[in-house]
A and B are shown apart, each in its own frame.
Chain A
Amino acid sequence: MASAETPAVPEAEAEAVVESTPPPPTEVEPPPETKTAGDSPSIDYLGLGEVVLRFLLFASAVVAVVVIVTSEQTKNSRPAKFNYSPALIYFVAAVSVLGLYSIITTLFSFYALILKPGFFPQVLSHFIIVDVLLLGIVSAATGSAGAIAYTGLKGNSHLGWGKVCAVYGKFCRYVGASVAVSLFASVVLAFLVLLSVYSLSKKIPK
């Protein structure tokens, strides 16, 4: 029938039909589950890196909390504890929340790595939102505790605030160490967010 009519019109229509239906993808990358099912040496570096970083985050959060909670010191029957300062209380609360969140997400991403067929893909990509929020909270906590510790170390002659660390040496050392560890935790959290963004940008469409 088409050959009997003028060839130009059906050719144009055929072109239109071909253009409207998208051409089938010639090179389809196989989804990761079938690729890695029989292919054991291929390691999912991004997933492994995520589990390692999250565990590192959990470890540093636990260390920071333990160090600052055991930092009590008494001199001349006047104790110095972390709960005498609202900034340090906020610091302990924020880092504890970070520790709890990081152990949960470590387990999630570990299961997602082991049980390869993309068990919790949606949840993992939503973790990045809470990651960035926690980065803000933990950075604020680090800043607060660091400011209080610095003021305790150097004092402030303009305001009449004395150097506390000259008296309470052990307390100041412990608080300083805890702040340093939580600074490391913030850096790890920032790298984790970058890793998540990078792996999100590389994801194969599901």
Chain B
Amino acid sequence: MESQYKSSGNGGMEVGERERGVAVANKRNMRGCDVVLRFFALALTLTAAVVLGVDKETKTVPVTLVPTLPPVNVPLTSKWHYLSAFVFLVVANAIACGYAAISLLLTLANMNGKKGITMIIIFFDLVMVALLFSGVGAAAAIGIMGYQGNSHVRWNKVCNVFDKFCAQAAAAVAISGIAAAAFLLLVLLATFNLHKRH
């Protein structure tokens, strides 16, 4: 009977410890995923802001002022800050980049999982999701307008002339979109964490 008590006692203690070990490992995995995603978002938003912030193109376009004279070569410049939607995207990416850095440090410091800080981080993650997605939508709408033009309101398409400018802007919008998806995954991960705790 003593041996029976001994084996059950040791077995029970081992199972309990193993469960606790799995729970801690799960929490560490989730925390690790969180840190990796935040670093990823930091890198992506920085890249998108830089790529769009150095977007500039100058093209000499032959313009016929008068039909009798030969066409005059006029240098036309296109910079990113001529379009307010691109300005909005650069600013949104800069804000998201700064927030990703701060929240990365906060998450690393918050290893024991205080609930107040976690809720604040989730709130600001949501704000960043909305901000980045709206920036992507705005820049994409203006970009499509530049590519296709709109005959009803007499807005000409610009991207047939400034093709490198438009391609770089499209790349920046795509990178920013992936960064927005990363912030979305962060919010989902945080809610999954809370759900798993129960």
Contacts and interface: CB of A to CB of B under 8 A. Distances in A.
A and B: real partners?
yes
B133 A139 contact: yes
A186 B126 CA distance: 11
A121 B101 CA distance: 36
A201 B122 CA distance: 12
Given A16-B9, A197-B119, A201-B119, A143 B127 contact: no
Interface residues of A, number: 60
Contacts of B191: 128-129, 132, 196-197, 200
B6 A158 contact: no
Given A132-B188, A144-B140, A193-B187, A85 B13 contact: no
A51 interface: no
Interface in A75-109: 78, 80, 84-87
B132 to A, nearest CB: 8
Interface in B121-164: 122-123, 126-127, 129-131, 133-142, 144-146, 148, 150, 152-156, 158
A135 B190 CA distance: 16
Interface stretch (A25-33, A39-47, A147-155): A147-155
B142 A147 contact: yes
Contacts of B194: 197, 200-201
A141 B184 CA distance: 16
A159 interface: yes
Contacts of A147: 84-85, 88, 137-139, 141-142
B148 to A, nearest CB: 8
Nearest to A163: B153
Query: Could you tell me the dominant secondary structure of chain A's interface residues?
Result: helix
Interface string B6-27: 1011111101100000000000
A13 B137 contact: no
B82 A154 contact: no
Nearest to A148: B141
B188 A17 contact: no
B146 A150 contact: no
Interface of B: 1-2, 5-6, 8-13, 15-16, 78, 82-85, 88, 115, 119, 122-123, 126-127, 129-131, 133-142, 144-146, 148, 150, 152-156, 158, 180-181, 184, 187-188, 190-191, 194-195, 197-198
Given A13-B6, A13-B9, A86-B148, 6 more contacts: A84-B153, A129-B188, A140-B140, A143-B133, A150-B85, A197-B194
14 contacts: A9-B2, A14-B5, A17-B5, A21-B12, A87-B144, A136-B133, A139-B130, A143-B136, A146-B138, A156-B83, A158-B78, A159-B78, A159-B83, A197-B122
